[in-house]
Copies of this chain bind each other. A is one copy, B any other.
């Protein structure tokens, strides 16, 4: 097998040698413009696609493919979206060298342009089809620039979503129309200086005055100042304020209120104070601000009352009596954010990989022997493993992001728990994957990865926020484990079969992994599912035993879970990675022919690289060292097999070439002196 790979590699090298000898033609003067190291495009260094790229692209995007192309077309039409034109190519990107205020102003103008183009029609309509439609538009916006999608997302998803889901008819009637057409501009004031992930701890206090039937919102101290509020620094006119509600001296927990913060001329309203969050490592197109409320009065009707209400005479009313349950029901709609973030993360990993792989198919470095031509980066086995394992993961995660979106779009109340656990685990897994992928791709592009116009390096800074907003990733993974543990312990206690988010297989016997792992078995999907189930099950059983052991020695359960963090973190990861495999398989199984075959290769590389990199299999004896060595080698073999398909696979990701940095195209032409603006 290795020998075979070697011959293939050699044949390729000779082919490349021919390419290069044609491409290398020494010349005299730089002014003649005939380079000696000619740009040979990735296409010339790749095989023809063996599968239908358009079909694969539709599969990756999942829905609304035409709409996506329409959004890209709209952006191409307006200079607001153009970074630079070199010869006949216009590159679409925000300019990350712009000043803070330029970036903010341009981002707003881009949102308004897309509104004027009708892209947000129905954006605050609560229907599955509409959710997917809006998602497609937002995914294209994020491909252009994260600030653009976040700026619009704060207004439509956070402010608009709060009106839709926390509010009732009175709010819908009054606020949804001006929200859709952006005649008001909303923001979402939940986070405070002193409290982020722990929303229950926020310190803003709201009381009720029956005499005037108004709520009085107050920032009692500096740590209660609202912080990171997107849109607050400059553009927002209204906000949703999250606040402790005190009624008759009793605290009823966190509730949300509508409050105007600026008038239609942009003047800050009385009682409101605002400051800028200032320059950030990325997302500078979003004007994050801080807000203080000095006993600001809002009408009683401004309480978003889907879960609880206050009567005109000041009685607190809620159908949900338990404060914990009420808080849970109240915050449930916030899962939208995690769904959207998980999806956006995968798309950015696609941008990074499309860039780095195209560059790796057009850039050479070092000769193996002095008389040979330099080797194409992607023909280095090490480079293949760096990038192709991440490409395989991105494909599988793309399937899981699409599945999550569908589950979320067509959700029923019974799905609440599944969505909470799934969105938590996938948000954490996919955003970490994105940052890792962007970092690896930046390094794989060398110095070119550092130029912001090439995007790949800048993506890290733009998307880093995903790791901690809408729930810190580590906290989310612990929440996943907590939910699985609770279900497991409850089944144990009740001596009933376990029913949980995909844990039903645990009611069957523990599988046995064969000692001899051949390539065929390693690439068998049933075996792969078993392998990832085995890890999840083992970690869950270990976590339960570990926590119970600590409890039996006198540690309170919450602290015991805290101390078992090592297992809990790994369990969250194991859960999410297994979910990704299952989603990928669902997609794969609906295909036929070469497309199915290639998805199978990607799946195998996904699973085996996950197993290869996870310390858990060996640490807990789920695999022997011999087995793990075979898997390690199989990862390299799969990378070799996927190499000829690398270009077709990145072309299928649905990222138009002009939305990638110039480094993904003819970078020698792009850098030619004649194309320099004076």
The residues of A with any CB-CB pair to B shorter than 8 Å are: 2-3, 5-6, 9-10, 26-31, 33-37, 95-97, 99-100, 191, 193-198, 201, 203, 218-225, 227-228, 273, 275, 277-283, 290, 292, 294-295, 365-369, 374, 380-382, 385-386, 435, 439, 442-443, 446-447, 449-453, 457-458, 460-461, 464-465, 467-469, 472-474, 478, 550, 553-556, 558-559, 562-563, 565-566, 569, 612-613, 615, 618-621, 625-626, 628-629, 632, 636, 667-669, 671-673, 676
Within the complex, the shortest CB–CB distance from A630 to chain B, in Å, comes to: 10
Sample 5 A-B pairs with CB under 8 A, ordered by A number. A96-B279, A382-B566, A382-B569, A439-B464, A619-B632
Contact B566 A385 (CB under 8 A): yes
- Given A27-B220, A221-B27, A451-B278; A565-B382 close (CB under 8 Å): yes
User: Which residue from B35, B218, B283 sits with its C-beta under 8 Å from A223?
Assistant: B35
- Given A193-B671, A194-B37, A629-B619; A280-B450 close (CB under 8 Å): yes
Interface centre among A6, A34, A613, A667 (most CB of B within 10 A): A6
Enumerate chain B residues within 8 angstroms of A446, measured Cβ to Cβ: 196-197, 468, 472
Contact B35 A565 (CB under 8 A): no
Enumerate chain B residues within 8 angstroms of A618, measured Cβ to Cβ: 615, 618-619, 625, 628
Contact A460 B221 (CB under 8 A): no
Contact B220 A29 (CB under 8 A): yes
Residue of B nearest to A568 (CB): B382
Contact A369 B556 (CB under 8 A): yes
Residue of B nearest to A449 (CB): B468
User: Which residue from B99, B279, B472 sits with its C-beta under 8 Å from A443?
Assistant: B472
Contact B619 A628 (CB under 8 A): yes
Enumerate chain B residues within 8 angstroms of A452, measured Cβ to Cβ: 278-281
Enumerate chain B residues within 8 angstroms of A558, measured Cβ to Cβ: 368-369
Enumerate chain B residues within 8 angstroms of A194, measured Cβ to Cβ: 37, 668
Enumerate chain B residues within 8 angstroms of A222, measured Cβ to Cβ: 30, 33, 35, 668-669, 671-673
Contact B453 A467 (CB under 8 A): no
Complex: A338 Cα to B672 Cα, angstroms: 31
Enumerate chain B residues within 8 angstroms of A228, measured Cβ to Cβ: 447
Contact B620 A625 (CB under 8 A): yes
Contact A196 B673 (CB under 8 A): no
> How many monomers of this chain does the complex have?
2
Known pairs A97-B279, A197-B365; list 19 more (Cβ under 8 Å). A3-B553, A6-B555, A6-B563, A30-B219, A35-B221, A97-B278, A228-B447, A279-B451, A279-B453, A292-B673, A368-B558, A382-B474, A386-B474, A443-B467, A443-B468, A450-B464, A613-B615, A615-B618, A619-B629
Contact A223 B615 (CB under 8 A): no
Contact B450 A282 (CB under 8 A): yes
Contact A550 B2 (CB under 8 A): yes
Residue of B nearest to A13 (CB): B559
Contact B35 A453 (CB under 8 A): no
List the 3 shortest-distance A-B pairs measured between CB atoms, nearest first.
Answer: A97-B279, A618-B618, A37-B223
Contact B374 A198 (CB under 8 A): yes
Enumerate chain B residues within 8 angstroms of A227, measured Cβ to Cβ: 447, 671
Contact B9 A673 (CB under 8 A): no
Contact B223 A380 (CB under 8 A): no
Contact B443 A30 (CB under 8 A): no
Within the complex, the shortest CB–CB distance from A192 to chain B, in Å, comes to: 9
- Given A223-B35, A366-B198; A447-B461 close (CB under 8 Å): no
Complex: A380 Cα to B629 Cα, angstroms: 35
Contact A559 B368 (CB under 8 A): yes
Complex: A457 Cα to B465 Cα, angstroms: 10
- Given A382-B565, A461-B461; A36-B197 close (CB under 8 Å): no
Residue of B nearest to A458 (CB): B281
User: Which residue from B34, B191, B374 sits with its C-beta under 8 Å from A201?
Assistant: B374
User: Which residue from B30, B221, B636 sits with its C-beta under 8 Å from A30?
Assistant: B221
Within the complex, the shortest CB–CB distance from A377 to chain B, in Å, comes to: 10
Enumerate chain B residues within 8 angstroms of A29, measured Cβ to Cβ: 218, 220, 294-295
Complex: A474 Cα to B440 Cα, angstroms: 11
Contact B6 A550 (CB under 8 A): yes
Residue of B nearest to A542 (CB): B629
Enumerate chain B residues within 8 angstroms of A386, measured Cβ to Cβ: 474
Residue of B nearest to A450 (CB): B280
Contact A275 B365 (CB under 8 A): no
Within the complex, the shortest CB–CB distance from A111 to chain B, in Å, comes to: 21
Complex: A30 Cα to B224 Cα, angstroms: 9
Contact B453 A278 (CB under 8 A): yes
Complex: A277 Cα to B449 Cα, angstroms: 12
Contact A447 B191 (CB under 8 A): yes
Residue of B nearest to A672 (CB): B222
- Given A621-B625, A628-B619, A671-B222; A468-B447 close (CB under 8 Å): yes
Enumerate chain B residues within 8 angstroms of A9, measured Cβ to Cβ: 559, 563
Enumerate chain B residues within 8 angstroms of A559, measured Cβ to Cβ: 6, 9-10, 368
Complex: A469 Cα to B450 Cα, angstroms: 11
Contact A30 B368 (CB under 8 A): no
Within the complex, the shortest CB–CB distance from A311 to chain B, in Å, comes to: 26
Within the complex, the shortest CB–CB distance from A436 to chain B, in Å, comes to: 9
Enumerate chain B residues within 8 angstroms of A457, measured Cβ to Cβ: 280-281, 461, 464
Enumerate chain B residues within 8 angstroms of A280, measured Cβ to Cβ: 450-452, 457
